[in-house]
Structure 1
């Protein structure tokens, strides 16, 4: 019943878990625990009184009723909630019930068998690919619950006996999922957790003996270090990955990642050389298994333009080239229906264009460039976007134009006061 009510409200486990402390200041619950309650994997026996009160206030039913198996006769008299009256699904919207049943059947099939079937592994691969494709395009809160659940399922299966082939496939998927959670931790402004997830992912990649995966994870570690302001470390991780990046998009991602870290360190020559190496890598790129997953697991040409512009925006005397690359990146990300579209990289392209225009003395053009970024909802204000907007602020101040750009400065400060990490979760 609890799972049915949650689906009726069209809310995520993270969103509902965040409301608990507002309903009862003594009540706390994690999204993962709430998900397990909803799937019937936990009972009401161990609940604290505060949790029981919060559940009753939120859904208008006792915990015992919430954890009963859903049935029409139980749901006929559903109480009104603070989200408005709940209604029984009709035959027209009965797909939600079918989806619930399918998800429950999937988890039962995955976790009840002594050994994992090829069909289960294939299903998990489809799920990991879905998350990889969705990650650059959807707000993180919409994906975080599924990411955590998928990782938990994979780790549970890996703790059981598997055939060597299935074990390698599962550890590969566990590594990718942990890499996605490393990126999620970074986007939430938690580089420590990001590196912890990344190290676990590297351990799994070593067990899977997958060079392309190893290279991709070094790229992720470089990204985490870069946004944490640890630029020398970002260079080190990018260069560590080059030994494994013989093919695939990582052969482009790693040098261009090093380029922007070198630029942040003020090393113009090495930064420009790394940009050239990344552009040259496109000439002999052959897609690998990471590219086949797509989404955040691959590196495309729009991202190359964005990263190169990000590097050039650091370098004095490169404002014109930075503007050229940024403008091309903005144009490349203009089509939201393009599979390569990513809201974070699009935002970074706009902020780089603003920085380049400020460096060239074009304050009006900079305001136009950064305006779409300042319209992003808090759920899309990931750490990298916030840092990029702060760089615009710093560039305005250092240019001596802050007095003429008072309105822009205030907008940026308002924007950065509500990053994604500040939202309840």
Structure 2
């Protein structure tokens, strides 16, 4: 610990020869007994971990309680505020002690034995603060399962599971000193935060979604994990254009591409997000370029988060096609949108029904319907929306809601004004959307509803 990280208390216990916890606690107990006999309220000596925090500048969020501070102030004859200051602010301490010293201390065997016992005690405490690896394995297994089942699990259920796993990772971080285990736990906390960002967005709660995404990025930065940071930045880019800031979305998507360790899946996802942002800016050239770049990610490179864990962290061909359909709709290219939406639904149809992610199939079907409405094909749109109208209320997330809103706007065109089929479809969309949890949470989508 360098001087800037040490408190004045660290310097004083060192100069007094009571830096080891056992020696400090013995001196603390002696002074506490004197104060107590004089009628003062005192607290037991801080535990070893709390003691170490007292010695590190900024190690405590709040100062010690009065009964503890009273003993410390008595021992060192300084206010508690001064004791917890940075030692770098009071360099005169060591000079004062040097001027008072007459001769170097003489050590005897008992002191050496005490130091040895302190070292053994500290090592024992460190060993005790090491988690069972099976606990960490189970936490990671639960996260992997949740990520892979995300698209087939109701948003509220995902939220409960991810929130529980995040709290578990945070609690376990307080119980280990192993750098390797801490890295695993920060990684787990980052994954849980990322899942919470996704489900918050699906529920139409943009503010907490952004906050969770930033937390995921910070956890990734803490352990130097490029794919986790990249995934979080991609989410923030997605949320930026959804919130009406497409230029910011482009910037974030490009920043996400700069992190190291990314595989093809991660890069395909980021280029697809960038393409959507350019679509909102009506920049046809950059949009088509980003779509091409997404399709050219075939180097064979992989990363653990996007490829090995996958699920919500993955970005397969079906999801890419679904997103490209939405992007083409922003450019009013109905034929390309229909081709991409049809491709997504065809790819999904090869999976068993319980494994088809509603978060992909629902938006793809709605985009297909909207592409047909652009060509005034009401019956074709009704056919495309038939499976969507069967989706239970608790599955109707913001991704579906924003697309349905855009489809509803298509039905306001003069060509549909007196068409009974169009009016009936518009009413059904309104009834369906009214029961969306995203609508109940007040979700709005300034750009996604552009017609």
Give the TM-score normalised by the residue count of structure 1: 0.69
Superposed CA deviations along residues 185-240 of structure 1, whole A, max 9, x for unmatched, are 11111110011111111110001211111111112222222333432232222111
Superposed CA deviations along residues 347-377 of structure 1, whole A, max 9, x for unmatched, are 1111111111111222211111122112211
2:165 is equivalent to residue 150 of structure 1: yes
The 3-state SS of whatever aligns with 1:219 is: helix
1:396 paired residue among 400, 407, 411? 411
| Aligned CA distance change for structure 1 residues 269 and 165 (closer, same or farther; 3 Å) | same
Q: Distance in 1 between matches of 2:168 and 2:296?
A: 40
| Aligned CA distance change for structure 1 residues 252 and 322 (closer, same or farther; 3 Å) | same
The 3-state SS of whatever aligns with 1:299 is: coil
2:214 is equivalent to residue 199 of structure 1: yes
2:310 is equivalent to residue 305 of structure 1: no
The residue aligned with 1:181 is 196
Q: Distance in 2 between matches of 1:236 and 1:217?
A: 14
Give the unaligned 5+ runs of structure 1: 1-112
The residue aligned with 2:426 is 409
Q: Distance in 2 between matches of 1:208 and 1:280?
A: 30
| Aligned CA distance change for structure 1 residues 311 and 249 (closer, same or farther; 3 Å) | same
Counterpart contact for 2:146–2:162, Cα < 8 Å: yes
The structural deviation recorded for 1:267 is 1.2
Larger C-alpha radius of gyration, 1 or 2?
2
Q: Distance in 2 between matches of 1:399 and 1:136?
A: 37
Q: Distance in 2 between matches of 1:187 and 1:248?
A: 25
Q: How many residues are matched? A: 310
Superposed CA deviations along residues 237-274 of structure 1, whole A, max 9, x for unmatched, are 21111112642411100011111121122111111111
2:376 is equivalent to residue 361 of structure 1: yes
| Aligned CA distance change for structure 1 residues 185 and 375 (closer, same or farther; 3 Å) | same
Map 1:199-278 → 2, pairs under 5 A: 199-244=214-259, 246-278=262-294
| Aligned CA distance change for structure 1 residues 231 and 187 (closer, same or farther; 3 Å) | same
Q: Distance in 2 between matches of 1:267 and 1:403?
A: 34
Over the residues paired in the alignment, what is the CA RMSD in angstroms?
1.9
Map 1:366-385 → 2, pairs under 5 A: 366-385=381-400
Q: Distance in 1 between matches of 2:247 and 2:354?
A: 32
Q: Distance in 2 between matches of 1:412 and 1:339?
A: 25
2:121 is equivalent to residue 121 of structure 1: no
Counterpart contact for 2:169–2:188, Cα < 8 Å: yes
The residue aligned with 1:279 is 295
The structural deviation recorded for 1:336 is 4.7
1:420 paired residue among 416, 427, 437? 437
The structural deviation recorded for 1:140 is 1.3
Q: Distance in 1 between matches of 2:413 and 2:175?
A: 58
Give the TM-score normalised by the residue count of structure 2: 0.65
Between stretches 405-414 and 217-226, larger displacement belongs to 217-226
The structural deviation recorded for 1:423 is 6.5
Q: Distance in 2 between matches of 1:127 and 1:198?
A: 20
The 3-state SS of whatever aligns with 1:215 is: helix
The residue aligned with 1:87 is none
| Aligned CA distance change for structure 1 residues 273 and 361 (closer, same or farther; 3 Å) | same
The residue aligned with 2:123 is none
2:185 is equivalent to residue 170 of structure 1: yes
Q: Distance in 2 between matches of 1:164 and 1:250?
A: 27
The structural deviation recorded for 1:339 is 9.1
The structural deviation recorded for 1:319 is 1.4
The residue aligned with 2:113 is none
Q: Distance in 2 between matches of 1:227 and 1:167?
A: 35
Q: Distance in 1 between matches of 2:223 and 2:217?
A: 10
2:362 paired residue among 342, 347, 350? 347
Counterpart contact for 1:225–1:234, Cα < 8 Å: yes
2:302 is equivalent to residue 320 of structure 1: no
The 3-state SS of whatever aligns with 1:115 is: coil
Counterpart contact for 2:216–2:228, Cα < 8 Å: no
